[in-house]
Amino acid sequence: MNINEKNMQKRFSIRTDLAIEAREMIEETQETGIHVDTEETDSYILTRVQIQTEQASQQMGKPKGNYITLEAQALKENDVDSHKEIIQALAKELSTLAKPKAKATVLVVGLGNWNITPDALGPKVVSRILVTRHLSQALPENIAKTMRPVAAISPGVMGLTGIETGEIVKGISEKMHPDLILAIDALAARKTSRINATIQLSDTGLAPGAGVGNQRKLLSKETLGIPVIAIGVPTVVDAATLVNDTMDCMLEQMQQQTGQEEAFYAMLRSLEGEEKYHLITQMLTPYAENMFVTPKEVDAVVDRLANIIANAINIALQPEITLEDIAKYQG
């Protein structure tokens, strides 16, 4: 395989930002150094994946660390009661993962392009964050001492600012010296059922724009010198992945209809790696590189998701407040 073919295969390989999906793709292989814990309620499924070794990291294609995934179809619906339960669960998991100290200064970074709805999750979350860093001198002492200083920013994308997002965040961090960074961004998934129905938390940082293939400088403890907690929701699926899953589903259904193992279906299912990649590429060229798919109701869903994530962050960072308090503040 020449260099161009290798680059194309990498570009059209199944893309996902979710650790839970990376694990599903290797679940039939021998797993070492990967610990998985799952709990389920009427409203959501919570999966904790811990990548413990370098071998497991390479196998998963994810950095070592903790990944927490909350899956709920209610995230796409206007289900207020389920949303309240999800907010409380997210706040608890975020507090456990981040472990912010009582007086820790927290910087919330909303990544993404506010002009493009599927990529506007980060900025929309930031618009709902309770920013308190500037209030410490203005509030009565008995109130100020119970409030954690929080700042928030939406740095935009390099296409709008001409500045690498990592450079902006690093510059702000060096000036204000936060103890913790929470970074929110839109992600990509390999299963359409998880689009807008999954929230992932991780303590490994993130690369802005990774969901749509625009790899930028990694925001992590290693690059910024500050712990970074990443929060993301898959809002798109790339065309190559969608075609791949559609092909698998069609083949399965056709085989079930025939009721027998026909050689033609067996041959199609056996296509892997380069052969399958070339078939998908030929079907999608010249559009596959830049084609991403999102549900038609994405506007309302992203607003709903931003509200859920922002409220979970607010409760996790300000334990003294409740959802009712937040509603009064935002109203």
pLDDT at residue 5 above 60? no
Q: What would the mean pLDDT of 264-268 be, rounded to a whole number?
A: 61
Helix (H) or strand (E) holding 121: helix 121-126
Hey, which residues does 66 pair with through a beta bridge?
A: 50
All structural domains of the chain with their residue ranges? 3-236+298-330
Q: What is the pLDDT of residue 188?
A: 84
- Mean pLDDT lowest among 56-65, 205-214, 313-322: 205-214
- Topology, domain 3-236+298-330: Rossmann fold (3.40.50)
Write out pLDDT tens, residues 245-261: 777 777 777 767 766 55
Name the one residue in this structure whose structure tokens are 């472990």. 99
Rounded to 10°, the helix 273-284/239-258 angle is: 110
Average pLDDT along the chain:
81
Q: What is the largest CA-CA distance in the chain?
A: 77
Please give the Cα distance from 152 to 99 (Å, whole number): 19
Taking the model in full, what pTM does it have? 0.81
Write out pLDDT tens, residues 50-77: 999 888 888 888 889 999 999 999 999 9
pLDDT at residue 32 above 50? yes
203 close to 66: Cβ distance less than 8 angstroms: yes
Residue 133: C-alpha distances to residues 19, 136, 138, 310 (Å):
33, 6, 10, 17
CB atoms within 10 A of CB 200: 25
Q: What would the mean pLDDT of 103-107 be, rounded to a whole number?
A: 92
**50 CB-contact burial (10 Å; exposed 0-12 / middle 13-18 / buried 19+):** middle
| Residue 270 banded pLDDT, cuts 50, 70, 90 | low
